[in-house]
Amino acid sequence: MKVRFQQIELTKRYPLAISRGVSTGSVNLFVSVQAGGVTGIGEMCPGKLTGAETADEGQAALEALLAGGIEGRSIHEVWQLGRQRQVPPCALAALDVALWDLKAKRAGLALRELLALPAPTAATSITIGINPPEVIRQRVPEMLARTAAKFLKVKLGSPEGLEADRASYAAAAESARPFGVGLRVDANGGWDLPGAKQMLGWLAERGAEYVEQPLPMGREDELGELFAHRPLPIFVDESCRFASDIPAWADAVDGVNVKLMKCGGITEAVRVVAVARACGLGTMIGCMGESSISISAGASIGGLFDHVDLDSHLNLAPDCAEGCELIDGVVTAARRPGHGGRLKGAPAGKDAAEC
- pLDDT tens series, the chain, 355 aa: 999 999 999 999 999 999 999 999 999 999 999 999 999 999 999 998 898 999 999 999 999 999 999 989 999 999 999 999 999 999 999 999 999 999 999 999 999 999 999 999 999 999 999 999 999 999 999 999 999 999 999 999 999 999 999 999 999 999 999 999 999 999 999 999 999 999 999 999 999 999 999 999 999 999 999 999 999 999 999 999 999 999 999 999 999 999 999 999 999 999 999 999 999 999 999 999 999 999 999 999 999 999 999 999 999 999 999 999 999 999 999 999 999 999 997 444 333 333 3
DSSP state of 233: -
Total Cβ atoms within 10 A of residue 217? 15
pLDDT of residue 18: 96
**Beta 282-285 vs 307-308: how paired, if at all?**
parallel
Residue type at 116 in one-letter notation: A
C-alpha distance from residue 284 to each of 56, 77, 106, 259, 345 (Å): 30, 26, 29, 9, 32
The residue count of the chain comes to 355
Task: Write down the pLDDT at residue 354.
Answer: 36
Amino acid letter, residue 209? E
The dihedrals phi and psi of 316, each to the nearest 5 degrees, come to -105, 145
In the prediction, which pLDDT does 352 show?
37
Amino acid 259 reads K
Q: What is the Cα–Cα distance from 128 to 7, expressed in whole angstroms? A: 27
Could you tell me which residues are beta bridge partners of residue 152? 126, 183
Ordered structural domains, the chain, with CATH? 2-108 (3.30.390.10), 114-333 (3.20.20.120)
Separation between Cα atoms, residue 103 and residue 82, nearest integer Å:
18
Q: What is the pLDDT of residue 353?
A: 38
Distance CA 82, CA 175 (A): 45
Q: Are 305 and 258 in contact (CB under 8 A)?
A: yes
Bridging pattern class, strands 2-18 and 351-354: antiparallel
Distances (CA, A) of 282 to 44, 170, 215, 266, 306: 26, 27, 18, 18, 6
pLDDT of residue 87: 98
Whether the Cβ atoms of residue 41 and residue 336 lie closer than 8 Å to each other? no
Q: Side-chain half-sphere of 344: how many Cα atoms within 13 Å?
A: 10
Whole-number pLDDT of residue 71: 87
DSSP string, 257-308: EE-HHHHTSHHHHHHHHHHHHHTT-EEEE--SS--HHHHHHHHHTGGG-SEE
| CA 184 vs CA 47, 122, 178, 310, 342: distances in Å | 24, 14, 16, 14, 30
Amino acid at position 143, single letter: M
pLDDT computed for residue 350 by the predictor: 36
How far is it, in rounded angstroms, from Cα 208 to Cα 198? 14
